[in-house]
């Protein structure tokens, strides 16, 4: 998946950072690097570095953390609302 997207001149990646916060990285994907012994990161020409297992989407294509993100949309929004 990432090799195909690396061929593009511009990519947009949404990913989880701390907790449930979502951030965005933009630019040309320049590589896939291994750090900390086992974690993999996508690197961008902008200097951004995104941990692969926290990626929600790459150019609209679901990434490894998409199911986690999607579970928020499927969560019951009325579960904690008390009836009058």
C-alpha 74 chain-centroid distance: 18
Q: Where are the alpha helices (DSSP H) in 1-84?
A: 2-6, 66-74
Domains held by the chain: number: 1
pLDDT reading at 9 higher than 60: yes
pLDDT reading at 56 higher than 80: yes
Q: Which residue range(s) make up the domain with 34?
A: 2-74
Going from the C-alpha of 6 to that of each of 34, 39, 47, 59, the distances in angstroms are 16, 19, 15, 11
Q: Are strands 61-62 and 55-58 parallel, antiparallel or unpaired?
A: antiparallel
Predicted local distance difference test score (pLDDT) of residue 79: 61
Which CATH number does the domain housing residue 57 bear?
2.30.30
Whole-model pTM? 0.79
The half-sphere exposure of 55 on its side-chain side, counting CA atoms within 13 A, is 26
């Amino acid at each position: 998946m990432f090799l195909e997207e690396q061929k593009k001149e511009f990519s947009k990646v949404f990913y989880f950072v701390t907790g449930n916060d979502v951030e965005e990285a933009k630019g040309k994907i320049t590589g896939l690097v291994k750090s900390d012994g086992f974690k993999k990161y996508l690197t961008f020409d902008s200097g951004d570095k995104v941990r692969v297992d926290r990626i929600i989407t790459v150019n609209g294509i679901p990434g490894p953390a998409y199911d986690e993100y999607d579970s928020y949309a499927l969560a019951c929004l009325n579960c904690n609302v008390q009836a009058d």
